[in-house]
Chains A and B, each alone.
Chain A
Amino acid sequence: MKRTFLTITGLLVVVAILFTNASVDEINGYKVGDYATDFNLKNVDGKMVSMSNYPSAKGFIVVFTCNTCPYAKAYEQRIIDLHKTFSPKGFPVIAINPNDPSQSAGDSMEEMKTRASERNYPFPYLRDDVQDITSAYGATKTPHVFVLNKEAAKKYKVEYIGAIDDSPREAADASEKYVESAVNALLSGKKPTVKEKRAIGCTIKWKDA
């Protein structure tokens, strides 16, 4: 009798812990060390893009960004440069626009196409219409970066989350280039020393619930 009681109590504790963890993850998205889900989202060229489309990639620089946020625009050239530097080394940029176009007309697929062609984006610029990838990753603002290391097929480990560098206003003033350092560490077989850095950004325009 006592034993049954203990077992039940134990089970309840386990369930409680599991439940708490699950709900916390749901709210907060990925932490460094988690495995990120692949996606299948529409690109500005009309094609669907997944990380599994890049069999030879060593990892990815996933950037939640948009057309309309002044901070995202300030980082646009730096995102292009990241791709130019790291795509040949196996870490391409994949940009995802999470904003609901009904609240931010400047972020519609049409506007994204215009921006991508005007600025000659060398990377895919995808729309997360359902916003499930954005919430799974736990992106809250633009720009918001996730550096993923591909450990094996379909195993994308989150190694860095946050800001591109420490100078939103002027690229030239940056003294710490977080994403660049993280990818360089991974390329040399090491873990990034800085795993998370927050920055100011624009709130993601979520669909009305």
Chain B
Amino acid sequence: MNSHVIYSVKKLAFTLILLSAVATQAQDIEMISLNSLDQLIKSPDKKLKVINFWASWCRPCIMEMPHFEAIDKSKATVYFVTLDHPQDMAKVQRMVEKNGIKSKVLLLNEKDADKYITAINEDWSGAIPATLFVDARGKKYFHEKAFDKPELENYVKKYSSFNK
């Protein structure tokens, strides 16, 4: 009887620990407006900002995610901005968890695609994946393409050379 109670308590404690571990692991994905994204792009930073645009339905985006997650965080801050519809938040959350993404994930909650595409970069056709690099001087570099790991590392090295 006693041992059974102890067992139950142990089991409960174990479950609680597990649950809290999962809770700390999963991040809350914040919805942001184009305005706040613009603020993020413009905000002064001592190091490079790497802002990757993706969507849960975009296979090449998902494939390059680990390369971005692997960026040396002493050189750059990585942001994943999803262009998914807010109703697909659960799908986004699943992708983020499945790929073990710890970097900040944001969902751009803006209906007018033409408006945000041109605002983020005049040369962006709207194809994803696409990535915006903002160096420590505030200079922007936009790449409408999928990266492999060495190529991304090269760009991070190049653009982070302006880190303060």
Contacts and interface: CB of A to CB of B under 8 A. Distances in A.
B113 A200 contact: yes
Name the interface size band of chain B: 20 to 34
Interface string B111-130: 11110011000001111110
Nearest to B146: A203
B101 interface: no
Contacts of B144: 140, 203
Nearest to B60: A203
Of the listed residues B111, B112, B113, B129, the one surrounded by the most CB atoms of chain A closer than 10 A to its CB is B113
A200 B85 contact: no
A141 B125 contact: yes
Name the interface size band of chain A: 10 to 19
B42 interface: no
Contacts of B85: 169
Given A140-B127, A141-B125, A198 B118 contact: yes
Contacts of A144: 125
A169 B91 CA distance: 14
B57 A71 contact: yes
Given A168-B113, A169-B85, A198-B118, A203 B127 contact: yes
A201 B127 CA distance: 5
Interface string A188-204: 00000000011111111
B127 A70 contact: no
B55 interface: yes
Interface string B135-164: 000000000111000000000000000000
A200 B55 contact: yes
Interface of A: 70-71, 140-141, 144, 162-163, 166, 168-169, 197-204
